[in-house]
Structure 1
Amino acid sequence: MQIAVTTPTGNVGRHVVTTLIRAGIRPRVLLRDPGRLAPGIRGEVDAVRVDQYDPEAVAAATRAVDALFWVDPTTGSQDPLADYARATAAVVRAVRENCIGRVVFQSSIGAEKRHGAGEIDGLAHTETALDAAAADTGTDVTHLRCGYFFTNLELQLDALRTGTLPVILPLDQPMAWVAPRDIAEVAATRLLSPGWSGRTVQAVHGPADLTWEQVADILTTATGRPIGVERITDEAMRTRLRGTGMTDGLVEAVMGMSTGLREGFVPEQRRTVRTTTPTSLAAWAHAHLRHRLADAPG
C-alpha cells in the first residue's frame, strides 16, 4: 500500500508519518524542503520535493499512490483564500489524474458553514472540490473537522509570559480543543482502515469542550504560572495581529475564524465516542508548554 503525506513536518503530519511507519508503511512524503525531515525519519520514507501550489508537481508526486493525506499549506499572503484555491486545484488535479483511491483531508470545525468563517472558508472550498472530484472518480474521501489545536497556544508565548491571553470570543463560550497528535491518529486510522467508503465527515473534538476561563485555569495549574484571559475588541485584536507582520488580508481571514463562529454556531457533528479523542489540554500543557515558559520572568 502506497500512502502519500503532505506537510510531513507539521504539527499533525509528522505524527501521521511516524504512525504509518510503525504500522509497517513506507510513506511517500511531499514537502518543499526534504532537509527539514528529522534525521531518523529520512531513511524510513520516500521524500519528494514538491510545491503544493503547483498542480503538475502534485500530480507527478502522487502517481501510483493508493491513499493521500492532504493538508492545505499555510499562507501568509494578502489573499489567503486565493492560496487555498490554488492548493485545492492541485489536489483535485492529482485525484482526477491519478484516480487516487482514498483521500483524508484535514479540515476544520466551521467548514460546514461553507461561507463566513474567514480562513476556514478556504478549507470548505477544498471539501466541496474534493467531493466533486470524488463523485467522478469513485475516490473515497474523509474530511476531518478538527477542533482548536492545543499548539495554537505556542503562537502566543509572549502573551502567556505576561500572564494574560487576549481573545475576542466570549470567555464562557465552550469549544472543542484537540491535540494534533490525536488528529494524526484518526487520520492514519482512516488511511489504513478498509471499513469505510464514499464521502464521510469525521469530527475530531478532543476530550472536552472548554471555555477560555477553563483554559486559563488549566494552563495555570499545568505550567505553574498564573494565567488569565481577557476579552478585547475586534479592532484591538486586528491591531495586535498587524503588529506581528500579518498582511491586512490575512488579518481578516484569521479574525473570521473566530467572528464567524461566535454567534450561535453549532458543529455539524456532536460529541460522541467517535468524535472524542483522549489527550487532555492539561497533559499537553504540562509536557509541551510548561518548559517553554519556565525561564520567563514571573
Structure 2
Amino acid sequence: MIVVTAPAGNIGHRVVENLLDQGAELRLIVRDPSTIPEAVRERVEIVEGSHANADVVDRAFEGADAVFWLAPPDPKAESATAAYVDFTRPAAAALKAHGVKRIVGITGLGRTTPLAGEAGYVTASLAMDDLIASTGVHFRALTMPSFMDNVLMQANALKEQGKFFLPISGDLKLPSVATRDIAAAATRWLLDDSWTGQEEVAVLGPENISFNDMAQIMSEVLGRPVEYQQIPLDAYKANFLKFGFSDAMAQGMTDMADAKDHGLDLGVERTPENTTPTTFRQWCEEELKPALSA
C-alpha cells in the first residue's frame, strides 16, 4: 500500500496516474474527494481530510508500506516553519507509530550551500526533512530547483504584457525542472522496495538555463515577443501581499528568490542520474502554449 498526499496537485496527480498505470495499490489523503477524477476514485482508497491532522494520518498510514509526502502551499501561514515543520509533526508521529518503511518527499535544493539557513521556504523544507529523518524511516528527499511550471503563475502577464517577472538576474543560468519529471522520479522511488537509509536526491532538469534564455524560447514557441524583467525584492514581496499572503510567507518567498539569485540552486553537481529529460522548449510546446491558448 502506497499513501499519496496532495494527490490533486500538480505533482501529486501525476504521481497517482503513474502509480495506477503500474498497478500499485493506493490510498489518497485529500481534503475534497471531488477534486479527484471519478475514474481514479474508483481505483483507490480515500482518506478524507488534511495530512496535517493527526487522526487523518493515523488512519492513512496504518498498514502502509510507503508514503509520498508533499507539504501543500499555505500562503496565510504564520511562518514558513509552521507551513512545513509544524504541518509535518503529526505525520512524523504516525510514521513511527505504524512502522511505515519508506517515505519519498518533495523538498528544496540547497542544503550544501551556505545560503541554506536564510532561504525562506527552502530553509523550512530542509527542517521538515530533518524532522522526517529523525523518525528513522527510510527516506529519499527529492530536492528541487525552481519548476518550469511556475511560469504559468504569470500567465496573465505573459498574455497581456508579453513579460514575466522575478527578482533574479536574467543572465544567471540555473537548473529548472518540469513537474512531470519530478513525478516520474518520485514514482520510481515509490515502486522500488529495495532501497534503505536516508539520502537527498537532486532532480535538476536537463540543463541550466537563464530567464533571458527562457524568454527567447517562449518567444519562438509562442510566435510573439516575450521579455523577462528583473524586479526589486520589495516589489516581489508586495505582489504576494497583494494576493493575500501573510507577511511571513511573502517574506519566505522573497528570501528564497534572493538566495536563488546568489546561487542556492548551484550547489549540486549535475550528473546523468540527477538530469531529467524534459527541456524548457518541450515544456513550452506541450504545456505553456496550450495553456495560454485556452
Q: 1:268 to 1:230 in 2, by over 3 A?
A: closer
Runs of 4+ residues deviating >3 angstroms: 111-114, 264-268
For 1:171, the aligned partner's letter is G
Structure 1 gaps, min length 5: none
What is the CA–CA distance in structure 2 between the aligned matches of 1:147 and 1:237, rounded to whole Å? 19
Deviation at 1:15, TM superposition (A): 0.9
Paired residues for 1:190-269 under 5 Å = 190-265=189-264, 267-269=266-268
Structure 2 gaps, min length 5: none
What is the CA–CA distance in structure 1 between the aligned matches of 2:140 and 2:290, rounded to whole Å? 36
Superimposed CA distance per residue, residues 186-205 of structure 1 (whole angstroms, 9 cap, x where no aligned partner) = 10100111342101111000
Structure 2 match to 1:83: 83
Structure 2 match to 1:54: 53
Structure 1 match to 2:131: 129
Deviation at 1:208, TM superposition (A): 1.0
Deviation at 1:273, TM superposition (A): 0.8
Match of 1:146 among 140, 144, 147: 144
What is the CA–CA distance in structure 2 between the aligned matches of 1:11 and 1:111, rounded to whole Å? 24
Contact residue 111 and residue 123 of structure 1 kept, 8 A: no
Q: Percent identity?
A: 27
Match of 2:156 among 155, 158, 179: 158
What is the CA–CA distance in structure 1 between the aligned matches of 2:263 and 2:89, rounded to whole Å? 32
Superimposed CA distance per residue, residues 114-158 of structure 1 (whole angstroms, 9 cap, x where no aligned partner) = 421111122111111111111xxxx21000001211211111112
What is the CA–CA distance in structure 2 between the aligned matches of 1:84 and 1:265, rounded to whole Å? 19
For 2:146, the aligned partner's letter is Y
Superimposed CA distance per residue, residues 27-56 of structure 1 (whole angstroms, 9 cap, x where no aligned partner) = 111111111101221111111102122123
What is the CA–CA distance in structure 1 between the aligned matches of 2:224 and 2:61, rounded to whole Å? 47
Contact residue 139 and residue 198 of structure 2 kept, 8 A: yes
Contact residue 6 and residue 72 of structure 2 kept, 8 A: yes
Superimposed CA distance per residue, residues 214-236 of structure 1 (whole angstroms, 9 cap, x where no aligned partner) = 11111111222211111111122
Q: 1:132 to 1:77 in 2, by over 3 A?
A: same
Contact residue 177 and residue 209 of structure 1 kept, 8 A: yes
What is the CA–CA distance in structure 2 between the aligned matches of 1:12 and 1:178, rounded to whole Å? 12
Contact residue 31 and residue 51 of structure 1 kept, 8 A: yes
What is the CA–CA distance in structure 1 between the aligned matches of 2:63 and 2:14, rounded to whole Å? 23
SS in 2 for 1:28: strand
What is the CA–CA distance in structure 1 between the aligned matches of 2:171 and 2:79, rounded to whole Å? 30
Paired residues for 1:23-38 under 5 Å = 23-38=22-37
Contact residue 85 and residue 125 of structure 2 kept, 8 A: no
SS in 1 for 2:86: helix
Deviation at 1:169, TM superposition (A): 0.8
* RMSD (Å) for aligned C-alpha atoms: 1.6
What is the CA–CA distance in structure 1 between the aligned matches of 2:132 and 2:33, rounded to whole Å? 27
What is the CA–CA distance in structure 1 between the aligned matches of 2:221 and 2:165, rounded to whole Å? 19
State the aligned residue count.
290
Structure 2 match to 1:101: 101
What is the CA–CA distance in structure 1 between the aligned matches of 2:212 and 2:250, rounded to whole Å? 25
Contact residue 224 and residue 290 of structure 1 kept, 8 A: no
What is the CA–CA distance in structure 2 between the aligned matches of 1:61 and 1:291, rounded to whole Å? 36
Match of 1:120 among 111, 119, 122: 122
Structure 2 match to 1:294: 293
What is the CA–CA distance in structure 1 between the aligned matches of 2:265 and 2:290, rounded to whole Å? 35
Superimposed CA distance per residue, residues 61-109 of structure 1 (whole angstroms, 9 cap, x where no aligned partner) = 1111000000012102142421222222022112111110000011121
Contact residue 85 and residue 131 of structure 2 kept, 8 A: no
What is the CA–CA distance in structure 2 between the aligned matches of 1:194 and 1:294, rounded to whole Å? 42
Deviation at 1:268, TM superposition (A): 4.2
